[in-house]
Amino acid sequence: MHHHLDTYAYTNGLRHLHPEQKLIFAIASLLFTFFARPLIQGLLWLWLSLWILGYARIPWRVYCTLLATVAVFWLVSLPGLVVQIIPTEALRASGQGVLSDISLMGWSLFVSAEKLHQGLTVGLRTMVASTCLLLILLTTPFPELLVVAERWGVPTFVLDVLMLMYRYIFTLLETAFTLQLAQRARGGYQQRSRWLFSVGLLAAQLLQQSLHRYQAIQLALVSRGFQGQFRVLRPCTYTYSQRYGLEVLIGGSALLLLNTLMA
């Protein structure tokens, strides 16, 4: 999957746009999400989706798949946000608006309207904030983000750590996918009794392969005279787009004004 994401980052319709301009827009949208009202968050999500699907021309299936992944994590955490358990007498005395409850041995397991509303609000904010990050992930190559971060004064060792994390995370995912594919080709994961054994074998092989990859990369760096700092290829010279800058200014001002009027 990460190879496809890298391909979109290098071939999307916003590839020519200055990475700093995209990064500023995404960060500003992310900060605005934290205090914007739900309706304004929905409008912001539609606007960001227009940038990703319309301007960047990212396939809608890829975009929906990434958002669905975020939604799954939100749904998994939703019961912890909306489900409460307190003594039945305390629940009756509180007068809370209960949507559903189960009482047993003096205790009540219930879902309140207030907590459900809070959970839905968190879910909407999560989706909008994730869309802000997807705008950067799908339209800007990672080396260009490092160049912008260096211009903003981020310490060199932080950039090196980010580069290593970016490399090792995707190397780990690629290794896990390859090993799992090999296991399935040999009949793994077909029976529930063998599923746990296959997962344990995958974890052991993944650790071994990861250590081997780490040693190979370490030897490669030493053989190439690594001096403690990664050097990335400087991208070509970009120019700021007045058209997109004007849209961001007008659209952002309109959303901020609407959010203020709804206060």
What CA–CA distances, in Å, run from 3 to 150, 160, 171, 218?
25, 21, 11, 23
pLDDT in tens, 137-192: 999 988 888 888 888 888 888 887 888 787 777 777 777 777 777 777 777 767 66
pTM for the model stands at: 0.77
212 Cα distance to chain centroid: 29
Per-residue 3-state assignment (H helix, E strand, C coil) for 177-228: HHHHHHHHHCCCCCCHHHHHHHHHHHHHHHHHHHHHHHHHHHHHHHHCCCCC
* Adjacent-strand bridge partners of 84: 110
Spatial distance between the Cα atoms of 123 and 78, rounded to a whole number of angstroms: 8
* Adjacent-strand bridge partners of 101: 110
Per-residue pLDDT of the chain (263 residues; tens, 9 = 90+): 545 778 898 899 998 889 999 999 999 999 999 999 999 999 999 999 999 999 999 999 999 999 999 999 999 888 888 777 767 666 666 666 666 666 667 676 767 777 888 889 999 999 999 999 999 999 998 888 888 888 888 888 888 788 878 777 777 777 777 777 777 777 776 766 677 777 777 788 878 877 887 788 778 877 877 776 666 666 566 778 899 999 999 999 999 999 999 86
Spatial distance between the Cα atoms of 21 and 178, rounded to a whole number of angstroms: 37
In this structure, the chain runs to a length of 263
Which pLDDT belongs to residue 250? 95
Q: Which of 150, 124, 102 is nearest to 44 (CA)?
A: 124
* Adjacent-strand bridge partners of 109: 85, 102
Three-state secondary-structure class, residue 239: coil
Which pLDDT belongs to residue 101? 64
